[in-house]
Each structure stands twice: as C-alpha cells, then as structure tokens.
Amino acid sequence: MTGGDLFAYSTPAVATAKAVIALAGAALLALDLVLGPGARAALARRVLLGATALAALLAWMRFAPLAAVSFIHPWEQFHHVLGARYFAELGYTRLYDCTALADAEAGFAVPPAERPLRRLATNQVERASAALADPDACKRHFTPARWRAFAQDVAFFRAAFMPRIWGSILTDHGFNASPVWTLAGAALAGDEPVRPALLRRLARIDLLLLAGAFAAAFWSFGFRAGCAALIFFGTSHLSDFRWVGGAFLRFDWLALAVAGAALVRRGHGVAGGFALTWATLLRVFPGFLVAAVVLHAAIDLARRRSLALAPPHRRFALGCLLALATLVPLSVAATGRDAWPGFVANSRKHLGTPLLNFVGWKSVVSFDPGATAAALRDRSDVDWYGPWEDAVRERFERRRAAWAAGVAGFVALLGFALARTPLAWAPLLGVGLVVVAAQIGSYYWSLLLGWGLLAERVPALGPLLLVASAASLGVADVVEGSADAVFAALSALGVALAFAVTALAARRGGHTR
C-alpha cells in the first residue's frame, strides 16, 4: 500500500468525526469534573469515555485499521531506511546527490540534470546538474558492492512514485535523525533488498511503540487521564496519521517520553531519567521535559538553601547520566566519531531553514499575513520558496526581542507552577517549554498529549485539551491560502494553551493527588 491509498480517507467527513469525538470526550470529562467520580452513573460515563477513546484511535487510523496496519509511507521510509542503512556513505549531506546520480545511471525518464534538488550541505535548492557534475564526490564513499545495493534500493522507491512526485522528493530536507536513532535504525533496517514486506514490518514497529506508550500512560496516570491523552492523539490535526503513519521508527521518542514521565510519576526516578534522556538523544526537543525537572531541582535547592540534590532529584540525575554514558558511546561505535559533530551541524542548518509546517512561538512571531509563502513563492526560480525563507529569517531577526520576552515570561510562569508541584508532574509541565521555546515539525506536537496525562492532577485540563483538539481541526479548515498561515494559527493556539495549562497547574488550592 502506497501513499495515496490511505490518504484517500482524509476527507471532510473524517475531520468532522474527529471534532465530534474530541468534543464528546471533553463533555464526558467535564461531566465527571462537575459531578465527581462517585456520582450515580459514573461507571456508565467511564464506559462511554473508553468507547470515545477507542473511537479516537480508529479516527487516527482513518477508520481503516486493517489498511493502517499494512500501510507503507514511502516518502518517509525512503529517507529513514536509506538514511540509516547507508549512513556511513551518505552522512547528513549526500542522500539526494547520490539518489540523483543513481537515477542518472538508471536512465530515469525525467532527465535528472533538469530537476530541482536540495543540496543538503547548504539546504539550497539548485538544478541537479550541479550535483551530477562530479559523480566521484558521491561514489568515492561507496564500495562497488554497496553502490549497487544503494542503486537497487533507490530503484525500488523510485518505482513507488509517479515521476513528478519522485522528482519533488529530492527537494525535501533530508535525513536528520541523531546517531542514537541511527544506531537502532540501521540495525532494524538490515541489509536485505528493500521490498514491501520489509517496509511493512518496519512500519509496524511504530504501532507497537504507540501501544506501549499508552499502556504506560494508563498504568501510571489512570483511566481518565489515559483516555484524555488518547483522544487528543487520535483527533488533533497535528498528530494526523498522514504525517508519519506507516513510517519507520518515528514514534520511538514519544514512547520513551511518555514512559519516562510515567516512571517518574510512579517514583522510579532512575528509569524515568534514563528514558527521558534517551528520548532527548533521539530527537533533542524532549530535553525540555528534562529541563523542567532541572528547574524543579533548582527551585528546591534554592528553597532549602542547599547545594545537595534531594534524593528524588539525585535518582533522576543518575538515570540521565547512565543514559548518556551508555547510549552516546554505543552510537559513536556504530556511526563513527564524526557522526555527532555532523548531527549538530546538520541540526543548526535544519533549524535555520524555515519550513511551512514548523510550529512554535517562533512561528507566531515570524508570521506576516501579508507576506505568506503563497504570496512570496517564485515559480520562475528553481527554489520556489527561497524568497519566503529569506523574508521569514529577516522578520524573526527584527522581532527576536518579542520572542525572547515570550519565552522568558513563560519560563517565569513555569517556575511559579513547578514551585507548587511535586516532582512527579514536572516532566509533563515541561511540554509547555517545547511549545514556547522550540520550533519543530508539526507532527512532533503529538507530545501535547502529555497535558492529558497531567489531567490526573488538574482535572480541568482534560476538557480544555480536547476542546483545543477540536479547535485545531477548525483552524486547519478555516485558515486558507497558505500552509504557513495554517501552522502559524495552530502555533498561536498551542502557545495560548501552554500558558493556560501552566497557569492552571500553578493555581493554589487546586486538585492535588
């Protein structure tokens, strides 16, 4: 099954169904909040809430669970299977150049030299002829046998797309996973020729990871909070299946982040610190959950006027150090000493390149409704969005002070909330830091399901989060004209939600169990 087959289920009816499910979940959680868990018909409401969570899961799968289980996302798998399998030869900068060369050698129907191609060393889009002018720049990194294997794998993916779509895949943003991700990714991808059966097996790993994540959520945070998180995940526009459903190892970070928060909630600080640090080494931004724990510890030290960490903080720190001491050396042994410096350089380059679907406070600050991507793109240039990217960078530099003020204000509010919150909840409050301080791809905001788990402590967050999930579908439907406008609006919704969630958590006299 290829990209269009399951995307066909992406209809207005599905979006409407998701909104109804999210609002039904919000209503049930609000009713529990008003009546209390001991009220009459509480069991019936729990059954209805569970059914609503199951409906949300089916909605995430576009109400086609059998299709979702066998679905392959070829665009995603091209990047991550080949990026992991041939990391020693491709690094972070040669995937597209070498793919174009393999196309040229195979006699691809659309002349490769005439196609646009993103040069991953600079993130600039150029004619592919620039990359093809020096074939040795690519092939000298391969042995003849490895080049033949790479060319065969490229041929498989090329056949999965229409020529026009295959041409556009080489203008995406490359392979950006960390060396710790590549350690597992290369082992799982193996070296057998790429075939549908292999890709289906790889795609199902994420389904198992998600199952584990929600099992940990229900185990640690309880039924109502687990349902709130699952309903958000299944209905939010930003965690839609089309983004990375059917991909390869794209939910490992989420599974580890949820497991880490669950372990901390249960008092297993060493294991929780290890899991959250592992998630950070996979995708970096989960480090903001760790940062919230660090801020919690700093507040505790200041309050006690001591330089000695309290035992819970000490156990968490030990878990973080154990993860660093094991996973980093293993990744270096598997990917080489240059992998981590290469990852840092690649990440800086990637974050410095505006994307249409970036979300975060920075996306709000950088947006101008009069200078959207649709208005500024230049179809006469090989790099259509170059003028828009330049304009976004320039606007952000002019507005950087406003961005910094927003981040500083949120950190102050977060500190106020953490000072009144047990350590068990600190990682979940760190989700707001991701929203306000980071700028990441929209699908990573599936992490906001952590606020559903926080509803065990602050029950009002459950209905609030699910209403926001329904609103995200409305924003995506109402805002028209340019993708960056949609994601700027969704970013504004997320930032407002981050402040509201954190303020509710900071209230004195709130629910504390």
Percent of the chain with pLDDT over 90: 84
pLDDT in tens, 346-394: 999 999 999 999 999 999 999 999 999 989 887 777 888 889 999 999 9
Residue ranges of the domains in the chain?
Answer: 3-68+201-506, 74-200
Among 488, 500, 131, 437, smallest CA distance to 288 is for 437
pLDDT in tens, 463-493: 999 999 999 999 877 886 789 999 999 999 9
Residue 38 pLDDT grade (very low, low, confident, very high; cuts 50, 70, 90): low
Instruction: Inform me whether the pLDDT recorded for 512 exceeds 50.
Output: no
pLDDT in tens, 400-434: 999 999 999 999 999 999 999 999 999 999 999 99
124-127 vs 116-119, strand pairing mode: antiparallel
Q: What is the DSSP letter of 456?
A: G
What is the C-alpha separation between 371 and 26, in angstroms, rounded? Answer: 36
Query: Measured in whole angstroms, how far is the alpha carbon of residue 440 from the centre of its chain?
Result: 7
| First CA to last CA distance, the chain | 47
Return the sign of the alpha-carbon dihedral for residues 346, 352, 357, 363: positive
What is the C-alpha separation between 391 and 373, in angstroms, rounded? Answer: 9
Return the sign of the alpha-carbon dihedral for residues 337, 209, 172, 189: positive
Instruction: Inform me whether the pLDDT recorded for 37 exceeds 90.
Output: no
Residues 6+ apart with CB under 8 A from 416: 506
pLDDT given for residue 476 in this prediction: 79
Q: What is the mean pLDDT of the chain?
A: 93
Q: Note the pTM of the prediction, 2 decimals.
A: 0.95
Burial of 168 (0-12, 13-18, 19+ CB in 10 A): middle
CB atoms within 10 A of CB 205: 17
Instruction: Inform me whether the pLDDT recorded for 199 exceeds 80.
Output: yes
pLDDT in tens, 433-455: 999 999 999 999 999 999 999 99
Query: Measured in whole angstroms, how far is the alpha carbon of residue 484 from the centre of its chain?
Result: 17
pLDDT in tens, 205-228: 999 999 999 999 999 999 999 999
Residues 6+ apart with CB under 8 A from 343: 92, 178, 179
Which residues, listed in sequence order, are joined to residue 118 by a DSSP beta bridge? 125
Considering only 35-49, 121-135, 428-442, 475-489, which range has the smallest mean pLDDT? 35-49
